[in-house]
């Protein structure tokens, strides 16, 4: 059995070889191999399918919860941390096509790479089988994360928390200033959060999304120095 066949067995679905290889092709590998297509378009597609599938599931299964609580739970289980956890359970990292630099820096275990590749896998399944099969896979792999209390707390959508506080307290507009350093295949980002004219926390991460979340988390702690971090 080939390596990719083993992955498909763990996933419990079939994906044609060309689409599967595309889903597993990180931009660092594509960059070093003549600019071949990457998994980023599939990631974009899979992210939308993932978000819808989880939103529908939560709406149906938790009819007593208001919109805000549903949104927080969705944000938790579609977060980079949650998807990376799923990826590690599947031993996904060893199947991802990575460039030399990412291989040397243990890219196969990076949460951002694992999470992005999981989204690309969801997009690939949708293209091969349609929405019902893609949704079944997502619910089978992702909804168990709803039982992980530690994950739910750690994966709080800090950007939403900050946005709600700023709006509720009429503190001013929320703005993230993001800068990136390093080559395209190994970028590192720093985000600074502003509310109105006040500069608050900073955060770092391998993606703009993660850097902004960390900046929002750091800002909440600055705004509430004597409180413990909120959980779902």
116 annotated to a ligand binding site: yes
- Residue of 4, 6, 16, 47 with catalytic role: 47
- Residue of 102, 108, 119, 214 with catalytic role: 119
Strand order in the sheet with 174-181: 174-181, 188-195, 198-205
Show the 3-state SS of the chain.
CCHHHHHHHHHCCCCCHHHHHHHCECHHHHHHCCCCCCCHHHHHHHHHHHHHHHHHHHHHHCCCCCHHHHHHHHHHHCCHHHHHHHHHHCCHHHHCECCHHHHHCCHHHCHHHHHHHHHHHHHHHHHHHCHHHHHHHHHHHHHHHHHCHHHHHHCCCHHHHHHHHHHHCCCCCEEEEEEEECCHHHCEEEEEEEECCEEEEEEEECCHHHHHHHHHHHHHHHHCCCCCCCCC
**Catalytic residue status for 47:** yes
119 annotated to a ligand binding site: yes
**Catalytic residue status for 56:** no
Q: What are phi and psi of 204, to 5 degrees?
A: -120, 155
Binding residues: 43, 116, 119
Binding residues for Mg(2+): 43, 116, 119
Q: Which residues are catalytic?
A: 47, 119
């Amino acid at each position: 059995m080939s390596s990719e066949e083993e992955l498909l067995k763990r996933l419990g679905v079939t994906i044609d070889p060309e689409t599967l290889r595309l889903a597993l092709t990180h931009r660092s590998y594509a960059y070093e191999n003549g600019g071949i297509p990457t998994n980023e378009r599939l990631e974009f597609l899979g992210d939308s399918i993932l978000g819808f599938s989880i939103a529908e599931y939560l709406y149906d299964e938790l009819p007593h919860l208001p919109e805000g609580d549903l949104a927080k739970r969705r944000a938790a289980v579609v977060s980079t941390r949650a998807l990376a956890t799923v990826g590690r359970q599947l031993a996904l990292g060893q199947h991802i096509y990575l460039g030399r630099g990412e291989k040397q820096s243990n890219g196969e275990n990076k949460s951002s790479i694992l999470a992005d590749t999981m989204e690309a896998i969801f997009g690939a399944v949708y293209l091969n089988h349609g929405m019902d099969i893609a949704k079944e896979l997502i619910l089978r792999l992702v909804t168990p994360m709803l039982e992980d209390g530690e994950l739910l707390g750690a994966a709080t959508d800090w950007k939403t928390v900050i946005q709600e506080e700023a709006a509720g307290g009429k503190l001013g507009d929320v703005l993230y200033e993001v800068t990136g350093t390093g080559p395209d295949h190994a970028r590192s980002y720093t985000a600074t959060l502003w509310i109105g004219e006040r500069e608050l926390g900073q955060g770092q991460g391998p993606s703009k999304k993660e850097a902004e979340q960390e900046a929002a988390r750091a800002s909440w702690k600055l705004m509430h120095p004597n409180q413990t971090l909120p959980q779902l």
